[in-house]
Amino acid sequence: MKFRIRIAQAKDKEKILSVIGSYPFKWDKRIAEKYYEDYFSDKRSFQGDKVYVLDLDSKIIIGVVGYYLDRYETKNYWLGWFYVHNKYQGGGHARKLLDHIIGKLKRKGVKKLFVDTSSNEFYQKALTLYMNNGFRIEATIRDYYGKGEDQIILSKQIK
């Protein structure tokens, strides 16, 4: 089996959505569908954003990750749509994707990367991944996603 990280293409959209849809919370997939439709159809508006996929043997997309530029306010970069298909979790794939993005941003001269996640128990693995890879909590916004579900904003210094 050969794994490869490559830039996402418009033809990958449905496979990317399948990765995101491999989890029980279907609202993520609905929101992602809107983002990827815009991303793949309007490259000018999304300059600075990049999406990468992790494919297996050049056939199956098992992960997706990207970064996007907060182009209107701070010029900070955010990690976005970071998923490894449910069937392929635990194989170090998330770490490979995260390292890939951090390397790309480091070469661009980016000093700090932000990401947000939910306090919902389902997202605990993501929070643990971020914390184990040098991210620190910047803020918690109470009840952001609904009563009892907070938004957690983290950042990582890129050296």
- pLDDT tens-digit series, residues 79-100: 999 999 999 999 999 999 999 9
* Separation CA 6–CA 68 (nearest Å): 16
Distance of alpha carbon 111 from alpha carbon 108, whole angstroms:
9
Average the pLDDT over each of 38-42, 82-86, 139-143 and give the range with the smallest value.
38-42
pLDDT at 58: 86
Distance CA 100, CA 4 (A): 11
Half-sphere exposure of 39 (CA within 13 A, CB side): 25
Task: Judge whether residue 75 has pLDDT over 90.
Answer: no
With 80 as the cut, is the pLDDT of residue 108 above it? yes
Model confidence at 43: pLDDT above 80: no
* Residue type at 87 in one-letter notation: K
Residue 116 CB partners (closer than 8 Å, separation 6+): 78, 151, 152, 153, 154
Closest CA to 122 of 92, 158, 157, 152: 152
Lowest mean pLDDT across 45-49, 53-57, 135-139: 45-49
Q: Which CATH entry fits the domain spanning 3-157: 1.10.3720.10, 3.40.50.300, 3.40.630.30, 3.40.470.10?
A: 3.40.630.30
> What pTM did the predictor assign?
0.91
User: Is residue 156 within 8 Å of residue 138, measured between CB atoms?
Assistant: no
Identify which has the larger pLDDT, 37 or 45: 37
| Residues 64-88, mean pLDDT to the nearest whole number | 91
Give the Cα separation of 98 and 101 in Å (integer).
Answer: 5
- Say if strands 112-118 and 136-146 run parallel, antiparallel, or are unpaired: unpaired
Q: Where are the domains of the chain?
A: 3-157
